[in-house]
A and B are shown apart, each in its own frame.
Chain A
Amino acid sequence: MKLVYYILRRCFFLFFIMIGVTLVVFVVSRIVPGDPALLMAGEGATAEDIKNLRHQWGMDRPIHIQYLTYLKNLLHGNLGKSIFTARPVLYDLKQYFPATFELTVLSLFLATFFGIVSGIVSANHKDKTVDHANRMFSLLGLSMPIFWLGLLLLLVIHYHFGLLFAGGRLSANLLPPKAITGLYTVDSLITGNWIVFKDSLLHLILPSICLAMSVVGRISRMTRSSILNVIHENYVRTAKSKGLPDRIINKRYILRNALLPIITLIGVVFGRLLSGAVITEIIFSWPGLGRYAVEATMSHDFVPLMGFSVLIAFLYGIVNLIVDILYTVFDPRVELD
């Protein structure tokens, strides 16, 4: 019951954060220099045309009314239309979302898996060569700008060794699988299309490694220090003194408690992955949300960028909510307030 109350409270809180997020995005979109109506009308438009456009888009109304209209539309799932392509932004976001989702989730999985494993190995061999090598590797990974790493991967693995692909989700001679989830790897598996599955998986490798590398060091470091903290806890000593086998102590006493902070870290890491995905998508010509937003921005088309920002903030909020709930579920010592 307490948990339900906690979740409700957090959802309520998230709602207000989202209101704030839309306010920030709205204010940002209003500080754009230049008149969007002028931009929309294009060259050779008369003053009358521009005035009509302003009226049609509600830009001649008071600013707080404009914001409320924007909120109302948002609640109805209307994120506006792109100024240039005239396509509804929501439609575009839906089209591009699966590509970003596929990339981010695979990277999160890779980073979490390798981060935790290397962290455990490091902690087990504290101050040995493996530990030093792993910590060095983590530090190097943390210090590497993602756009540089991406280009280096392309340079060495694709251009030098001729392996894998330089970009895109699928080779040009293949048709995408029937859209069920929108994730090429999953859809091709469901429809049993092995050629497409293999091809899309091979396309995914470089971008997801690039993205995962930017966070794996953080997870590894955190796992290591967390385990080293827990090892000295009294309950571990008690378990040892009563003669429990090491296997059980490691698994149930040390790992279970040491991995708790990692759950929280995943929320933070997810935000970094979303930022990193924008850059990764540009390097690997990955047709996802980030590339869509950047391309729109380059043509001074603000509506897609606003929709994108609100969507990303929402996703980030939801993931952190889930992370916090999981944390309280896994750690009964946490007191809900």
Chain B
Amino acid sequence: MNLLKKYEPQIRELKFTFYLIRRSPLTLLGLSIIIALILVAVLASFISPYDPNSIDSVHRLKPPSFRHLFGTDTLGRDLLSRIIHGARISLVVGLVIVGLAAAVGSILGLIAGYFGGKMGEVIMRITDIFLAFPYLILAMAVTAALGPTLMNAMLAMAIVWWPMYARLMYSEVIVIKKMLYIEAAKSIGVRKGRLLFKHILPNSLTAVLVQGTLDFGAAIMYSAALSFIGLGAQPPTPEWGAIISDSRHYLMFAWWYPTFPGLAIFITILGTNLLGDGLRDVLDPRLRRLVE
């Protein structure tokens, strides 16, 4: 009861956020897509009709039917089952890449923004160098160097992506650290660590959260692209990009083969884009109170 009282303002804010999300059908749609993705990923073993890797040489490249809703691939594997299991991989891929990149980038951006000076300068110049490459090109080089596996593709994407978050955090922090409440906290003698992690960090996380939501889909798309090139997940992993890569040689006879896994990627990215755009409006303090 005491706990409820203590966090009452936070709970009220959270409720208000959900109220705002409910008011926007597109944001709600995005949220539903992401929740559906998580459910499919978690329940993959229960809901997929077949084993994603069981080979059936009699039913190769069969078009969609009641037996195989999304058809079968060259080895007679059920595409629906493979796509369902692929959701699990994509979810992990998105979480790991965005999680790693956001964590490393935010901390470095926080340090660079708050302390500034030589260290800040060095950190920001390093981000400049990384941002001088188009994403996929550097990720290609890093994955190729580490060896073409899904794990390395994820690592490469995180290495390529953290500077975005460092930049974002940096630009947030240099504004926030001049705010009156930071000045006030300092003047009553709040220590540096507490100031950084209790006052500055939480207030700059909104931007990271919105960017992270938008990037979640992009991370899935880029790692699928790496798999498509042949630098990410290797067969027989049911990764969406890898399935599409397999399908290239059968384009003429099997329209369903690239179509359904691509649709899965497309819907996922659409979901994160809708949710990210919605969250940006909902969490923006300038727009937030306008509805009241």
Contact = CB atoms under 8 A, between A and B. Distances in A.
Given A151-B251, A298-B230, A316-B132, A144 B266 contact: yes
Contacts, number: 129
A147 B225 contact: yes
A17 B247 CA distance: 40
Given A143-B273, A272-B134, A297-B231, A305 B141 contact: yes
A279 B146 CA distance: 20
A144 B267 CA distance: 9
Interface string A26-49: 001101110000000000000000
A317 B252 CA distance: 40
B113 interface: no
B145 A32 contact: yes
Nearest to B258: A151
Contacts of A143: 217, 266, 269-270, 273
A271 B128 contact: no
Contacts of A309: 133, 137-138, 141
Contact of A297 (B133, B144, B225): B144
A138 to B, nearest CB: 10
A151 B274 contact: no
Interface string B137-163: 110111011110000000000000000
Nearest to A301: B144
B221 A145 contact: yes
A24 B130 CA distance: 8
Interface in A271-315: 271-272, 274-276, 278-279, 282-283, 293-294, 297-298, 302, 305-306, 308-309, 312-313
A278 B229 contact: yes
B128 A17 contact: yes
Contact of A312 (B137, B224, B241): B137
B244 interface: yes
A142 interface: yes
Contacts of A24: 129-130, 133, 138
A267 B135 CA distance: 14
Interface residues of B, number: 44
A139 B228 contact: no
A297 B132 CA distance: 21
User: Interface residues of A toward B: which range?
Assistant: 35 or more
Contacts of B15: none
Nearest to A314: B132
B186 interface: no
A140 interface: yes
B146 A31 contact: yes
A316 B138 CA distance: 13
A25 interface: yes
B144 A305 contact: yes
Contacts of B230: 294, 298
A145 B262 contact: yes
B259 A17 contact: no
A108 to B, nearest CB: 13
B136 interface: yes
A58 B128 CA distance: 31
Given A155-B255, A302-B145, A317-B132, A146 B266 contact: no
B248 interface: yes
Contacts of A139: 270, 273-274
Given A293-B140, A297-B140, 11 more contacts: A17-B132, A24-B138, A28-B142, A28-B145, A144-B266, A145-B224, A147-B228, A151-B248, A279-B136, A282-B228, A309-B138
16 contacts: A20-B125, A29-B145, A142-B273, A144-B266, A145-B265, A147-B228, A154-B251, A155-B255, A271-B135, A294-B140, A298-B230, A302-B145, A309-B133, A312-B137, A313-B133, A313-B137
